[in-house]
Amino acid sequence: MEQKTIYHALNIMPELCNGCSHCMKVCPTQAIRVRNGKALMHPDWCIDCGECIRVCPTHAIKIAADDFQRIFDYEYRLLVLPSVFFGQFSNYISLEMINSILKEMGFTAVHVPEESVDFLLETMNHYIEENQRPVISSFCPAVIRLIQVRFPSLVNNVMRLKQPMELTAHHLRKVYSEKHKADMAKIGIFYVTPCAAKIASVKSPVGDYISPIDGVINMDYLYNRVQKESVKKLAENVADLPQERIQLSGKAIKYTLTGGEKDNMWQTGLAVDGLQNVIDILERLENGEIEGVDYLELRTCDESCAGGILTPNNRFFAAERLRRMAKKLPEECWMPKKYTDYLASIVNVGQIEPRSIVRFHPETKEALKMMEKAQEIKESLIGIDCGACGSPSCEALAEDVVCGKATIEACLFQRIKSGKAGSLSMEQAVGIMEEIWGADKFVDK
Amino acid sequence: MEFKFHVEGGDFTSAGTASSQIKKVLKQINIDPIIIKRVVVALYEAEVNIVAHAHHGDIKVKITPQQVYIRLDDEGPGIENVEKAMQKGFSTASSKVREMGFGAGMGLPNIKENADIFTVRSEVGKGTTLEITISTVNNG
């Protein structure tokens, strides 16, 4: 199994983390433990889904982003802005206003990544006909990572096609280098991300290719800046906005919402959103329980990208607003054939490798022995998964004990049992608690 | 490492419990995903067979570093013609069962395809015993 360093967009800030363990409980790959009163993340197991951010009460988990000023390193500053961004604003703020504010901020042009979806959807339909079914969408990077880590037997079902943000970036680079005779090095393409997973997919793409995107801007940051400016403009009653259009179509707007891919498939498809729902479908698929489905559109966030961790507004309002916008637009918006021919030449990505979690030992024989031991320990534990040991479940504690990463006395109930039997002093018990939850938790405030 | 499961005939909602559990174990001991898939498909088919045809049955799974051995014993109608049942598309399922998506005549042939060693012993009116062995060492 290859062991490359994987880029993660999520970082736990120790100075803000109070070790409350909320994140540990929701992590779908059990990548988090609490030690010395702080959450620690196992980098090989993290899939950048961002579930931990949603539940962190102290905002201690930060999403890395590029410095905004980096856009000025380039002469042509092209913004690739997911259409889901437009769903964040009230009806008073028009697309023209958003466009003109972004231009004032320094961008040469604003494009939606979904400009390439007409081409992509057709390519996908052909791909499905020619490949192992059901084909799993490669749209959501957290889903791809989840499959690599938790469902390695399904990696060959993942569609090996680039997604709108990458295709549109390639397209823009081509347009600007040809039409505007721009020097390639002077074109900077910046993607606005609604989530952590998309950042990770730009910084370390899965499928052996280099991302055509030069930088990533977080959607909440850009929203704040646009919102502030638009309030000013509305107050000033700015009437004569440049009527420059952002190229949009109905299909493009709906693409990032649940059903955006599936509804355009010729074959039978299923659209699933929400992390637990996605896990359930993947479990069933792996068990061979799913038949008669050719395409699986799987999105980690509830309501897809409208529910992204960096989208500021309520996901249902945003999705509804976008659906209403889509109705008023032309259904499709093809780019010239010259460019779709070009995209066809770069749309494929390479093999997607599994990234199986080594829970016990890389050698099966040793792993089996350790697992048997862990099973024994698990049976001796109380099974309430309280997390007071600093591991996410009794099962996880049993694994951690066998792997030498925790002691059985980390379990509260075990400590009381040992205390009752006289084999563990109060001092020792406190010492164990301090190792997990930090010494500061055991002094009077 | 050994696991035991009890399966009730007609309980379609629980079909897949054994295969899910075994899948989880095999993943944790780093078995090749392709082999895991074979084990899971074979076990799931066999599990559904008990649910669809038998009164009840017991599953025993033994995992060693070299192989996964599965034995399924059921009490039920048995298989009248094992040879025929091993042919793709042969089915005795009622239309009701077929409507539910089962009984397409792929059960035993599918198990055979995924197993390294597969034996079926059946007595009409009494029950069926399946033995499935899949090597966990990838030879190709």
CB contact under 8 A, B29 and A375: no
Name the 3-class secondary structure at A99: helix
**Model pLDDT for residues A314-351, shown as the tens digit of each residue:** 999 999 999 999 999 999 889 899 999 999 999 999 99
pLDDT score of B16: 86
Average pLDDT of the segment spanning B65-88: 90
Specify whether A270 is located in the same domain as A317. Answer: yes
Cross-chain CB nearest to A153 (options B20, B25, B36):
B36
pLDDT score of B98: 67
Residue A95's region, left for phi above 0, alpha for psi from -120 to 50, else beta, is: alpha
Specify whether A144 is located in the same domain as A230. Answer: yes
Question: Is A242 or A355 the better-scoring residue by pLDDT?
Answer: A355
> Which residue range(s) make up the domain with B126?
2-135
Nearest Cα of chain A lies from the Cα of B125 at a distance, in angstroms, of: 29
The closest of B98, B76, B100 to B89, measured between CA atoms, is B98
Tell me the CA end-to-end span of chain B in Å, nearest whole number. 25
Residue pair B45/B7 in contact by the 8 Å Cβ criterion: no
Average pLDDT of the segment spanning A238-251: 78
Nearest Cα of chain B lies from the Cα of A292 at a distance, in angstroms, of: 10
Indicate which CATH number applies to the domain containing B82.
3.30.565.10
pLDDT score of A70: 95
pLDDT score of B100: 65
Name the 3-class secondary structure at B5: strand
* Mean pLDDT for chain A overall: 92
Residue pair A363/A376 in contact by the 8 Å Cβ criterion: no
Residue B119 lies in a domain: yes
The closest of A230, A410, A400, A301 to A53, measured between CA atoms, is A301
Cross-chain CB nearest to A371 (options B1, B20, B101):
B1
CB contact under 8 A, A356 and B27: yes
pLDDT score of B43: 95
Residues 6+ apart with CB under 8 A from B15: B7, B44, B47, B48, B51
Specify whether A294 is located in the same domain as A339. Answer: yes
Residue A355 lies in a domain: no
Calpha distance B54→B11 (Å, rounded): 11
Beta bridge partners of A297: A271
The packing angle between helices A95-105 and A219-236, to 10°, is 110
Specify whether A88 is located in the same domain as A205. Answer: yes
Specify whether A131 is located in the same domain as A269. Answer: yes
CB contact under 8 A, B28 and A289: no
Residue A105 lies in a domain: yes
Average pLDDT of the segment spanning A112-125: 95
Specify whether A171 is located in the same domain as A28. Answer: no
**Model pLDDT for residues A202-240, shown as the tens digit of each residue:** 998 888 889 999 999 999 999 999 999 998 888 887 666
| CA angle (A241, A243, A245) in 5-degree steps | 130
The structural domain count of chain A equals: 3
pLDDT at A3 over 50: no
Q: Which residue has the tokens 């993340």?
A: A41
CB contact under 8 A, B136 and A364: yes
pLDDT score of B97: 66
Q: What is the DSSP string of A236-297?
A: HT------PPPP--HHHHHHTSTTTTGGG-SS-EEEEESHHHHHHHHHHHHTT---S--EEE
> Which residue range(s) make up the domain with A52?
10-63
CB proximity under 8 Å: B 17-36 to A: 19-20, 23, 25, 27-31, 33-34, 36
Cross-chain CB nearest to A360 (options B1, B28, B64):
B28
Specify whether A259 is located in the same domain as A372. Answer: no
Tokens of A295: 């395409």
Average pLDDT of the segment spanning A154-176: 95
The closest of A226, A126, A175, A220 to A342, measured between CA atoms, is A175
Chain A residues near residue B23 by CB distance under 8 angstroms: 286-287
Name the 3-class secondary structure at A299: strand
CB proximity under 8 Å: B 49-78 to A: 63-65
Q: Of A39, A63, A87, which residue sits at a domain end?
A: A63
Residue B140 lies in a domain: no
Average pLDDT of the segment spanning B58-83: 93
Question: Is A55 or B12 the better-scoring residue by pLDDT?
Answer: A55
Specify whether A18 is located in the same domain as A94. Answer: no
pLDDT score of A63: 92
pLDDT score of B102: 61
Residue B53 lies in a domain: yes
ipTM over 0.85: no
Specify whether A90 is located in the same domain as A112. Answer: yes
Specify whether A56 is located in the same domain as A74. Answer: no
Sign of CA dihedral A159, A165, A166, A167: positive
The structural domain count of chain B equals: 1
Half-sphere exposure of A342 (CA within 13 A, CB side): 16
Nearest Cα of chain A lies from the Cα of B84 at a distance, in angstroms, of: 24
pLDDT at B13 over 90: no
**Model pLDDT for residues A62-100, shown as the tens digit of each residue:** 998 889 999 999 999 999 999 999 999 988 888 889 999
Specify whether A48 is located in the same domain as A125. Answer: no
Sign of CA dihedral A355, A357, A360, A364: negative
Q: Which residue has the tokens 């174990």?
A: B25
Indicate which CATH number applies to the domain containing A53.
3.30.70.20
pLDDT score of B104: 61
The closest of B52, B18, B49, B53 to B112, measured between CA atoms, is B49
Nearest Cα of chain B lies from the Cα of A200 at a distance, in angstroms, of: 25
Minimal-distance CA residue of chain B relative to A354: B33
Calpha distance B6→B17 (Å, rounded): 10
Average pLDDT of the segment spanning A122-150: 95
Calpha distance A330→A254 (Å, rounded): 12
Beta bridge partners of A218: A193
Q: Of A346, A378, A404, which residue sits at a domain end?
A: A346
The closest of A349, A329, A316 to A118, measured between CA atoms, is A329
The percent of residues in chain A predicted with pLDDT above 70, rounded, is 98
**Model pLDDT for residues A351-391, shown as the tens digit of each residue:** 998 887 788 888 889 999 999 999 999 999 999 999 999 99
Question: Other CB atoms closer than 10 Å to residue A8's CB: what's the count?
Answer: 20
Q: How confident is the model at residue A57 (pLDDT cuts 50, 70, 90)?
A: very high
Q: How confident is the model at residue B101 (pLDDT cuts 50, 70, 90)?
A: low
CB contact under 8 A, A288 and B45: yes
Tokens of A396: 């996880």
Buried b (16+ CB within 10 A) or exposed e, B5-31: bebebeeeeebbbbbbebbebbbbbbb
Beta bridge partners of A77: A188
Minimal-distance CA residue of chain A relative to B28: A359
Calpha distance A422→A183 (Å, rounded): 77
pLDDT at B116 over 90: yes
Calpha distance A241→A101 (Å, rounded): 10
pLDDT at A5 over 60: no
Q: Within A106-249, where are the H helices? A: 117-130, 141-150, 164-178, 196-203, 219-236
Indicate which CATH number applies to the domain containing A430.
1.10.15.40
Specify whether A250 is located in the same domain as A232. Answer: yes
CB contact under 8 A, B29 and A371: yes
For chain A, how many residues are written? Answer: 445
pLDDT at A2 over 50: no
Residue A3 lies in a domain: no
Chain B residues near residue A361 by CB distance under 8 angstroms: 30
Residue A357 lies in a domain: no
CB contact under 8 A, B23 and A359: no
- Give Rg (Cα) of chain B: 14
